[in-house]
Amino acid sequence: MGRLEPKLLTGPRARPVPAQRQPVRPDPGQNRISRPLRLKGSGKGTTTVSEIAGELARVREAFDKPTLRLLDRKWAPFVLAVFKSAFSRDRRSVQADRLHSQVDAYLADLRSVGSEVPGKNGRALCVQWMNDLWLYRETGEGGEEQYSLTSHALEALLLVDSLSQDRALISESRLTTIVDSVRHRATQATPDRDARIRRLDQEIAEKTAERDRLQGGGEIATATDEQMHEGYANLVDLIMQLPSDFKRVEESVAAMHRQIVSDFRGEERPIGEVLDEYLAKTDALMSATAEGRAFEGAFTLLRDDALLSDVKNDLEAILDHPFAARLTTAERRTFLGTVGLIRKGIDDVLTQRNGLTTTLREHIVNHDVVKDRELERLLREINKELAVWMETAGPRSTVTAELMPGILDVEHLRERFYDPLNHRPPPDLEDVSEYAPEPPSLDEMRRQGGPMLERMRDALVTFRGTGDAASVGAAFNGLEPALRRPVEILGMLQIATQVDALGRAHQVESFETVRPDGSRRTFSVPRIILNDDETAALAALNYGSDHD
């Protein structure tokens, strides 16, 4: 017996429904409503397509998405294990070369224990995963390329984590969360004023009764460890869904960015139309999708400092319960980092949106409106001339037109025209000589100048000629104030270097200096004592080699 193909009988001219029909992709973010397909037949009334055909199309479409394609592959356990090991909530991105090396190390470790692994290296696998929309590569801070997980990979990891948990999440905490959410949304959805007031009065009465009971000394019913652990698991399950939600919003903004850049480069649409579409997509992204509404809610939370502080305090209060003793350090740190997780997700989305806004601003600023107007004017003139030509041209008349304009043989093109203002002399300088200060005298200029080497050498030779074997510092301190400026110390050291006397200095002594304004200052300088040969060398520098 041959294989049976699903068919739809609607009359004599009915056609079979192909078994391998490719479904049409719906727009992202739209809810699909299952409706029966009705076809007109040759007989009376209409015929309804079996619901299994529509369900089969939807299931095939779901398996065609990157999330289920990841779980349906042969190497899915290996890929998810790599993602789980290389990325975490605190490590959202990894430098590209580092991830290539990590994957190579994981492959080597698994081969050493006999596990079957792909035959490619780390770089080839990362490129393949990026093409499969499981990894996203971008340029991070410092210009280095880095990888991050896409929303599809995060959803796959979340699904695997939920399936690997031993505890069932259908608990009192989960049902209480659902009931409270349903009650809150029902109150918001009620248009009847009296009904809404009645709901609020009922909540106020319940809370007031509980407050009065506690104030009157009623018993405080504390939650058991099992109840707290169930509530904690429910919160963790909800918190773990946040990264993929934020990543979907970030990817939506990135896709919008790529589309707008493509429209700008193509210049096929007016810039106003592109901007209008950007604003419309932004509004739809933040209000029409579940991810956008989650983003707006988190953004509202961060704007309320008091509410954010309460959330932190509530997280700490939950971990103060005795049940938290069973949690590991990593679980406690992850739970307390919920607010940081929300803040990081919002920063990533805002960074993508700021990049899109920057692209728009740069294009608007750099867009050549003059060129557009010149082109438009030229096209209008061409149309005008074409209309004149058509009045006399026959049905088979042609016009020879060059695809590219010819080259003009011009030796020089004037770039600027003569401007008489460029040759106008500058205005006369104002005479301010009456405000000029008195010029310094020659003696004052000398006192502010460099060391007087010749006079210093003469002073040292004279001091040595008196037969005194004291140091150069003693000779300096005995000079007149005009020769004891601080700059003269540098001259003294230069003189000592000229006769190689500085190499013997192993101690320091004080030089009492006098500035030109009369102030005094003491400096510590190497102690130098000149011998006869060095003194003769200094005299030769000043008076010549024949001096005695």
Tens-place pLDDT, residues 185-211: 677 677 788 888 888 888 899 888 888
With a CB cutoff of 8 Å and minimum separation 6, the contacts of 61 are 23, 25
For residue 27, report the phi and psi dihedrals to the nearest 5 degrees: -65, 140
Radius of gyration of the chain (CA): 44
What percentage of the chain exceeds 70 in pLDDT? 75
- What's the rounded Cα separation, in Å, for the pair 73 and 129? 12
**Partners of 509 in the β-ladder:** 525
- What's the rounded Cα separation, in Å, for the pair 144 and 385? 56
Distances from the Cα of 411 to the Cα of 338, 404, 414, angstroms: 71, 21, 10
Q: Supply 150's token pair.
A: 């896409």
Residue 522 is predicted with a pLDDT of 93
How crowded is residue 252: how many other Cβ atoms within 10 Å of its Cβ?
A: 23
**In b/e form, how buried is each residue of 106-117, taking b as 16+ CB within 10 angstroms?**
bbeebeeeeeee
Band of residue 174 on the pLDDT scale cut at 50, 70, 90: low
| Calculated CA dihedral for residues 517, 520, 522, 523, nearest 10 degrees | 0
N-terminal to C-terminal alpha carbon distance within the chain? 136
Contact, 116 vs 74, CB < 8 A?
A: no
- What's the rounded Cα separation, in Å, for the pair 298 and 340? 11
Residue 335 is predicted with a pLDDT of 80
Residue 148 is predicted with a pLDDT of 86
159: exposed, middle or buried (Cβ count in 10 Å: 0-12, 13-18, 19+): middle
Fold of 226-384: Methane Monooxygenase Hydroxylase; Chain G, domain 1 (1.20.58)
pLDDT of 45 higher than 50: no
Domain with CATH 1.20.58.70 in the chain: 226-384
Alpha-helical (H) ranges within 113-224 are 122-131, 151-164, 172-189, 193-215
Q: Supply 106's token pair.
A: 């994981």
One-character DSSP codes across 305-342: HHHHHHHHHHHHHHHTSGGGGGS-HHHHHHHHTHHHHH
Render pLDDT for 241-284 as a digit per residue (tens, 0 to 9). 777 777 777 777 777 767 776 766 665 666 667 667 766 766 66
Contact, 148 vs 344, CB < 8 A?
A: no
pLDDT of 11 higher than 70: no
Nearest Cα neighbor of 338 from 302, 310, 311 is 311
Mean pLDDT rounded to a whole number for the chain: 75
Nearest Cα neighbor of 289 from 250, 238, 259, 260 is 250
Residue 512 is predicted with a pLDDT of 93
- Min mean pLDDT across 177-181, 190-194, 315-319, 527-531 is at 177-181
The C-alpha angle with vertex 482 and arms to 479 and 486, in degrees rounded to 5, equals 85
Render pLDDT for 402-446 as a digit per residue (tens, 0 to 9). 777 777 777 777 777 888 888 888 888 888 888 888 888 888 887
Domain with CATH 1.10.10.10 in the chain: 67-160
For residue 378, report the phi and psi dihedrals to the nearest 5 degrees: -65, -40
Fold of 67-160: Arc Repressor Mutant, subunit A (1.10.10)
Contact, 286 vs 352, CB < 8 A?
A: no
pLDDT of 212 higher than 60: yes
Contact, 5 vs 19, CB < 8 A?
A: yes
Distances from the Cα of 188 to the Cα of 157, 181, 182, 393, angstroms: 35, 11, 10, 73
- What's the rounded Cα separation, in Å, for the pair 133 and 153? 8
